[in-house]
Structure 1
Amino acid sequence: MVNTLLAHDLLWGMTPEQLPADAPSWVIESISAGQPVVVRRALSAADHIAVGVRGRLREQRYATVMSVDAIQRQVRPEALCHVSIDRDLPAVRALNQLRPMLDSCEWVWGVSGSAGFELASGFQALHEGSDLDLILRTPQPLNRVRAQALVKILDAAVCPVDMQLQTPLGAVALREWASSARRVLLKSASQAVLVIDPWNPQEQAA
């Protein structure tokens, strides 16, 4: 039995036979090679989960669904914090640089995006120009002053770093929450909406 499935989780067990008949050839190749799929924020039937397939090229991203019964393995972004790969790339150096500082904070953090995919699967997804994508589990509100301090830490890294705050209601970009914008974009499985407070559903603003 898999744990609760969350956006950015990586899943193994999908087969080419589970793909739609019109799936591009590169999608079939990725799945046939044993690559995991990534959970995405979208609604699906109760016995399926919305996932995305990655290709070798940045523009190769394919949205589909996977049967929950087919899942053989699940890896969360936070399970990848201390996984190492021996590749001299800016994103890898940035992760090594930021790891002690993120470990010392009280929040649970994780690695997503290309870095998370490579750390979890062993399939090369990073290149010289790759950003580092991180998540931060924030079940309780993170005030904007602390968000700004966190952005300063990330900005000292050797490559661009993007972090998403994972709130109980969805995800919001750290940099947006740390900005002076009154409303920020909160992404959930059902919608993307501008809100005043990403932790308080009563504070939504159209």
Structure 2
Amino acid sequence: MINEASMVPNPHDLLWGFAVAQLPLDAPAWVRGALGRHAPVVVRRALAEPGWVAVGVRGRTREERFATWMRLGDVRRRVSPEGVARTGRWMRHANGAWPALRALAWLAPQLDRTGLRWGVTGSLGFELASGLSAAHPASDLDLLIRATQPVSRAGAEQLCRLIDRAPGSIDVQLETPYGALALREWASGAARVLLKSNAGPLLVSDPWAAERSVA
């Protein structure tokens, strides 16, 4: 068991330890089936009571998503997007010709050289971390860059140019202390950008000072 005081799950973290018995009685059958495969739950962006974390259960299709809550004391294992990136499991994936995997193989060393903290999220991140099938040949590559300090507009533009050299469709989110925003939106120069926070979407001018820049 993980000590609650030492663990602060972040959005996109994968958590193991959620039991089927904790589901509400009206939970769809597919949710019970997913947890029966020993699938992790995904930390979602929402406010939670002390000692709890907002999570979601993934099913086999995009439409199968179930929001619920997990006690921090029940967490047995946690894998962050950065942890998924560190394993390098995509290099041994049976479907390495998929565009998302080819893009990841090309981008990984490039991003490592930037010194940025980055990780893999979405269906591919889930599959790489859990070993359960979730991605498919047309899956996008979803990446997270942990931006605890401000990223300049010019720096964001540079990252977009780097990403555009990789194959496939790639979505990159900048994760600030106040929430996440799309890298491309920040690079666009827009006066205000959409920040996805735990309290809901915010339109802000400075994602690193969200409490002072809400529209």
Give the unaligned 5+ runs of structure 2: none
* RMSD value, Cα: 1.2
Higher helix share: 2
- Rounded Cα–Cα distance in structure 2 between residues aligned with 1:80 and 1:177: 25
- Residue 86 of structure 1: CA displacement? 2.6
Corresponding residue SS for 2:31: helix
2:133 aligns with: 124
> CA–CA distance in 1 between the matches of 2:83 and 2:210?
29
Partner of 1:37: 41
Name the aligned partner's letter for residue 8 of structure 2. Answer: T
Cα 1:43/1:202, change in 2 over 3 Å: closer
After the TM superposition, which parts of structure 1 deviate over 3 Å for at least 4 consecutive aligned residues? none
1:83 equivalent in structure 2 = 89
Q: CA deviation at 1:116?
A: 0.7
In 2, the alpha carbon distance for the partners of 1:173 and 1:195 equals 13
1:62 aligns with 2:37: no
Normalised TM-score (structure 1): 0.96
TM-score (structure 2 length as normaliser)? 0.92
Aligned partner letter, 2:76: Q
Please state how far the C-alpha of 1:67 moved relative to its aligned partner. Answer: 1.3
Q: Percent identity at matched positions?
A: 50
The one-letter code matched in structure 2 to 1:19 is L
Q: Does the alignment pair 1:14 with 2:18?
A: yes
How many pairs are equivalent? 206
The Cα shift of 1:124 comes to 1.0
How many angstroms does 1:191 deviate by? 2.1
Give the letter aligned to residue 113 of structure 1.
G
Give the secondary-structure state (helix, strand or coil) at the position aligned to 1:63: strand
Hey, what's the Cα distance between the residues in 1 that align with 2:34 and 2:190? 40
Q: How does 1:150-161 map to 2 (within 5 A)?
A: 150-161=159-170
Unaligned segments of structure 1, at least 5 residues: none
The 5 Å alignment of 1:162-173 reads 162-173=171-182
2:113 to 96, 104, 110: 104
- Change beyond 3 A, Cα 1:144–1:52: same
Q: Which residue of 2 aligns with 1:72?
A: 76
